[in-house]
C-alpha cells in the first residue's frame, strides 16, 4: 500500500515536472523575437511549405473520402425519415464542426508533427543544435520558433482546405451518384450552416489543435534522447500525445461551444 | 620540464593565457568527470588536451564553450568567467570561439556554401557579395572552393571535416577548439588537417585547443600538452617533455601500454567469480 502510494506520488511529481518543463519551453519559444525580420520570414515561409504544403496531398485525399463516406452514411439514415434533401446540411455541419478539425488534426499529428520531431531530434543527435549554440545562435529562435509558428499558421488553412474537399466529396456522392438535386443540396447547406457558430468554431478548434500538436512535436524533438532509439520513441510519443490531445481538447472545446461560448 | 598535476596552478600564473580553468569540478550522473582541475591555455599557441577515451575531453571543450556548467570552479576565457555569464553575454562571447565538432555537425539541409556563410549572415551586416568573397576565402583555405555547391551528404569524411573547419573559422575566432579532428581520417586527409590547423593558428593568430587521443599526429604541432585521466590532470608540459615523462600514467598513455595505472577494464566484479556465478 505504502509502495503504491509512493509510486503514485513519484509518478505525479514526474508528470508535473514534465508538464512544467514543456510549458517553460513553450514560453521560451513564444518569447523568441527575431533579430532579423527578413530572415525570420524566410525561415517561416520555408517551414510553412514543409509543414503545410507537404501535408496537402493527405489532407485533400482524406477530405474527399470523408465527404464521400459522410454523404453515403447520411443518405442511408436520412432517407429512412424522408429527409434526404437535408443531406447538404448534414455533410457541411459534420465536416466544419467536427470532422474537419479533428481528422485534419490527427493527420497533421501523423504527417507533419512526426516529421518535425524527427527532424529536430536528428539535428540534436548530429550536434547541429549544439554547433548552432556554439556559433552564438539560439536554436530555439532559429530552429524551433519558425517551426512552431508555421504549424500554428498551417493548421487552420489545412482545415479549411479539408472542409472544402470534404464538402465537394459529399456533393459528388449526393448529387452525382445518389441523384439528390444540386440546388437543394447547396440551398439547405447555406440555410443550415451558421458562419459564426459552425464555421468559425471549427477554425478556432483548428488553431488550438495546431498550437498543441506543434508544441508537442517541437518539444519532443528538442528534449529527446539523441540516439536512434530516443528519436524513434520521441516521434512515437509525438503522434500519440498530439492525437490524444486533439481528441481530448475537441471534447472540451465542443462542450464549451455548445454551452454558448 | 614535466610538471606534476599539483603544480598546474602555479604554471597557470606564469603564462599569458587565453583560457584558464580554475579549480574546476564536474560530475555526470554522480560520477566525477573532473575533480578540482586547473588548466591554462596559452594565447596564440596550440594546446593539445589528450587522454584515454571517456576521460571527459569533449566535456572539457563544452565547459570552455559554456555549454555545460561546472559543479564548482571557473572557466575564464579572454578574461570572462564563461560559467557566470548571462545567456545573452554567453552568446556574444561565443562569437569569438570556433568549435569543430567530432561529428562535423554540418547543417544537412544547407549546401557547403550556405554552411560556411551561416555565421557570417547571422552575425554580420555584410552584403551578399562580401559574404561570397569571405566564404570563398575560407573554402579556398581548406581546399574546397570547388565544392561550394555540394550538399553535406555528397562529401567524404575528410571533406566534411574541412568544411566544418571552414565554417568554424568563418568569423575569424580568437579561440579555436577542435574535438577529435583526426578521428577516422585517411593519411592524406590527416596530413592536410594537421597542416591546416597549424597554418590557420599561425596566420590568424588564434589560440587553438585540440582535444584528441591521437598522440603522434598532434605532438608534431602542439606547443603545449595536457594529459587528463582519472578526473584529473595527469601531466602537462611541452610535447617533448610529455614524450619523455616519467610519470607512470603519462608514460602509459604516451607509449600506449596496456598495463599501468590507467585500467583497461571498466570496474567490474572478479571475472572468475562472475564466470562461476558465485558472490
Cell 568573397 locates to B133
**pLDDT of B14 higher than 70:** no
- pLDDT one-digit tens code per residue, A155-176: 999 999 999 999 999 999 999 9
**CA B97/CA B169 separation, integer angstroms:** 9
Half-sphere exposure for A157 (CA within 13 Å, toward CB): 13
**Which among B67, B95, B107 has CB closest to A128?**
B107
pTM: 0.85
Contact B94 A133 (CB under 8 A): yes
**CA A158/CA A39 separation, integer angstroms:** 25
Assign B271 to helix, strand or coil.
helix
Q: Of residues B58 and B279, which shows the higher confidence score?
A: B58
Contact A135 B94 (CB under 8 A): yes
**pLDDT computed for residue B231 by the predictor:** 87
Helical axes A100-108 vs A228-258, angle rounded to 10°: 170
**pLDDT of B15 higher than 80:** no
Contact B101 A131 (CB under 8 A): yes
**pLDDT computed for residue B279 by the predictor:** 58
CB count, 10 Å around CB of B125?
8
**pLDDT of B119 higher than 80:** yes
Contact A134 B95 (CB under 8 A): no
Across-strand partners of B80?
B77
Identify the helix (H) or strand (E) that includes residue B42. Answer: strand B31-42
Contact residues, A window 190-209, toward B, CB-based 8 Å cutoff: none
Q: Is B251 on the interface with A (CB under 8 A)?
A: no
**pLDDT above 90: percentage of residues in chain A:** 89
Contact residues, A window 35-74, toward B, CB-based 8 Å cutoff: 39
CA B255 to chain A, closest CA, distance in angstroms equals: 32
**pLDDT computed for residue B2 by the predictor:** 44
Contact residues, B window 115-174, toward A, CB-based 8 Å cutoff: 118-119, 121-123, 171
**pLDDT of B13 higher than 80:** no
Q: Of residues B229 and B260, which shows the higher confidence score?
A: B229
CA A137 to chain B, closest CA, distance in angstroms equals: 7
CA A39 to chain B, closest CA, distance in angstroms equals: 9
CA A126 to chain B, closest CA, distance in angstroms equals: 6
Q: Is A134 on the interface with B (CB under 8 A)?
A: yes
Identify the helix (H) or strand (E) that includes residue B187. Answer: helix B187-204
Q: How far apart are the first and last CA of chain A?
A: 44
B6, with CB counted inside 10 A (0-12, 13-18, 19+), is exposed
Contacts of B107 in chain A (CB under 8 A): 128, 131
**pLDDT of B4 higher than 50:** no
Q: Of A203, A199, A246, give the one whose Cα is nearest residue A93.
A: A199
Sheet holding B80-81, edge to edge: B31-42, B17-28, B72-77, B80-81
Average pLDDT of A208-229?
A: 96
Check: CB of residue B37 under 8 Å from CB of residue B21: yes
**CA A91/CA A70 separation, integer angstroms:** 6
| ipTM of the complex in this document | 0.81
Concatenated DSSP letters of chain A: -HHHHHHHHHHHHHHHHHHHHHHHHHHHHHH---SSHHHHHHHHHHHHHHHTGGGHHHHHHHHHHHHHHHHHHHHHHHGGGT-GGGHHHHHHHIIIIIIHHHHHHHHHIIIIIHHHHHHHHHHHHTTHHHHHHHTT--HIIIIIHHHHHHHHHHHHHHHHHHHHHHHHHHHIIIIIIS---HHHHHHHHHHH--IIIIIIHHHHHHHHHHHHHHHHHHHHHHHS-SSHHHHHHHHHHHHHHHHHHHHHHHHHHHHHHHTT-
**CA B168/CA B96 separation, integer angstroms:** 10
Q: Best interface-test mutation with A: which of B67, B105, B110, B176 has the largest number of A CBs within 10 A? A: B105
Q: How many CB pairs under 8 A join A and B?
A: 48
**pLDDT computed for residue A260 by the predictor:** 63
Q: How far apart are the first and last CA of chain B?
A: 48
**CA A27/CA A20 separation, integer angstroms:** 11
Long-range Cβ contacts of A187-190 (<8 Å, 24+ apart): A187/A88, A188/A85, A188/A86, A188/A87, A188/A88, A188/A89, A189/A88, A189/A89, A189/A91, A189/A92
Across-strand partners of A115?
none
Contact B121 A39 (CB under 8 A): yes
**pLDDT computed for residue B3 by the predictor:** 44
**Which among B101, B122, B171 has CB closest to A127?**
B101
Q: Is B43 on the interface with A (CB under 8 A)?
A: no
Average pLDDT of B203-214?
A: 89
Contact B108 A128 (CB under 8 A): yes
**pLDDT of B1 higher than 60:** no
At B278, is the pLDDT very low, low, confident or very high (cuts 50, 70, 90)? low
**Which among B95, B97, B105 has CB closest to A126?**
B105
What is each CA distance from A95 to A68, A99, A174, A202, A255, in whole angstroms? Answer: 11, 5, 15, 9, 17
CA A38 to chain B, closest CA, distance in angstroms equals: 12
**pLDDT of B117 higher than 80:** yes
Check: CB of residue B12 under 8 Å from CB of residue B43: no
**pLDDT computed for residue B107 by the predictor:** 94
Check: CB of residue A254 under 8 Å from CB of residue A117: no
Contacts of A133 in chain B (CB under 8 A): 65, 67, 91, 94
Amino acid at each position: 500500500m505504502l509502495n503504491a502510494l509512493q509510486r503514485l506520488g513519484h509518478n505525479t511529481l514526474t508528470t508535473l515536472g514534465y508538464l512544467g518543463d514543456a510549458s517553460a519551453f513553450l514560453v521560451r519559444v513564444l518569447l523568441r523575437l527575431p533579430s532579423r525580420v527578413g530572415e525570420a520570414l524566410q525561415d517561416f515561409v520555408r517551414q510553412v511549405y514543409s509543414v503545410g504544403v507537404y501535408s496537402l496531398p493527405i489532407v485533400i485525399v482524406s477530405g474527399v473520402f470523408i465527404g464521400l463516406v459522410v454523404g453515403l452514411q447520411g443518405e442511408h439514415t436520412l432517407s429512412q425519415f424522408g429527409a434526404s434533401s437535408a443531406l447538404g446540411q448534414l455533410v457541411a455541419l459534420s465536416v466544419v464542426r467536427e470532422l474537419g478539425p479533428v481528422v485534419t488534426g490527427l493527420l497533421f499529428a501523423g504527417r507533419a508533427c512526426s516529421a518535425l520531431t524527427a527532424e529536430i531530434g536528428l539535428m540534436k543527435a548530429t550536434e547541429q543544435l549544439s554547433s548552432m549554440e556554439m556559433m552564438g545562435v539560439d536554436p530555439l529562435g532559429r530552429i524551433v520558433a519558425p517551426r512552431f509558428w508555421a504549424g500554428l499558421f498551417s493548421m487552420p488553412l489545412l482545415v479549411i482546405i479539408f472542409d472544402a474537399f470534404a464538402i465537394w466529396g459529399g456533393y459528388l456522392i449526393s448529387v452525382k451518384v445518389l441523384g439528390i438535386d444540386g440546388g437543394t443540396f447547396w440551398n439547405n447547406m447555406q440555410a443550415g450552416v451558421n458562419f459564426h457558430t459552425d464555421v468559425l468554431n471549427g477554425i478556432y478548434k483548428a488553431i488550438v489543435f495546431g498550437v498543441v500538436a506543434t508544441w508537442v512535436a517541437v518539444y519532443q524533438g528538442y528534449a529527446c534522447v539523441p540516439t536512434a532509439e530516443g528519436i524513434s520513441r520521441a516521434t512515437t510519443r509525438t503522434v500519440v500525445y498530439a492525437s490524444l490531445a486533439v481528441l481530448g481538447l475537441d471534447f472540451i472545446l465542443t462542450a464549451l461551444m455548445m454551452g454558448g461560448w | 620540464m614535466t610538471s606534476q598535476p599539483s603544480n598546474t596552478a602555479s604554471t597557470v600564473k606564469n603564462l599569458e593565457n587565453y583560457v584558464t580553468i580554475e579549480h574546476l569540478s564536474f560530475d555526470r550522473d554522480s560520477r566525477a568527470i573532473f575533480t578540482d582541475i586547473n588548466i591554462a591555455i596559452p594565447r596564440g599557441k596550440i594546446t593539445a588536451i589528450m587522454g584515454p577515451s571517456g576521460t571527459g575531453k569533449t566535456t572539457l571543450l563544452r565547459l570552455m564553450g559554456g555549454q555545460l556548467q561546472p559543479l564548482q570552479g571557473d572557466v575564464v576565457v579572454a578574461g570572462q568567467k564563461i560559467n557566470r555569464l548571462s545567456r545573452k553575454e554567453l552568446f556574444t562571447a561565443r562569437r569569438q570561439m570556433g568549435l569543430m565538432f567530432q561529428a562535423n555537425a554540418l547543417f544537412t539541409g544547407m549546401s557547403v556554401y550556405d554552411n560556411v556563410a551561416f555565421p557570417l549572415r547571422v552575425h554580420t551586416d555584410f552584403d551578399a557579395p562580401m559574404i561570397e568573397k569571405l566564404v570563398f576565402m575560407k573554402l579556398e583555405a581548406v581546399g574546397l572552393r570547388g565544392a561550394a555547391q555540394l550538399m553535406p551528404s555528397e562529401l567524404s569524411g575528410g571533406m566534411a571535416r574541412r568544411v566544418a573547419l571552414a565554417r568554424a573559422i568563418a568569423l575569424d575566432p580568437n579561440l579555436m577548439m577542435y574535438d577529435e579532428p583526426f578521428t577516422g581520417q585517411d593519411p592524406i586527409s590527416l596530413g592536410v588537417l594537421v597542416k591546416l590547423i597549424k597554418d590557420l593558428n599561425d596566420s590568424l593568430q588564434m589560440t587553438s585547443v585540440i582535444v584528441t587521443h591521437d598522440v603522434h599526429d598532434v605532438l608534431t604541432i602542439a606547443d603545449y600538452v595536457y594529459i587528463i585521466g582519472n578526473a584529473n590532470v595527469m601531466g602537462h608540459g611541452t610535447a617533448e617533455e610529455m614524450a619523455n615523462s616519467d610519470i607512470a600514467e603519462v608514460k602509459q598513455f604516451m607509449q600506449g601500454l596496456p598495463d599501468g595505472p590507467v585500467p583497461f577494464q571498466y570496474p567490474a566484479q572478479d571475472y572468475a567469480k562472475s564466470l562461476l556465478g558465485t558472490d
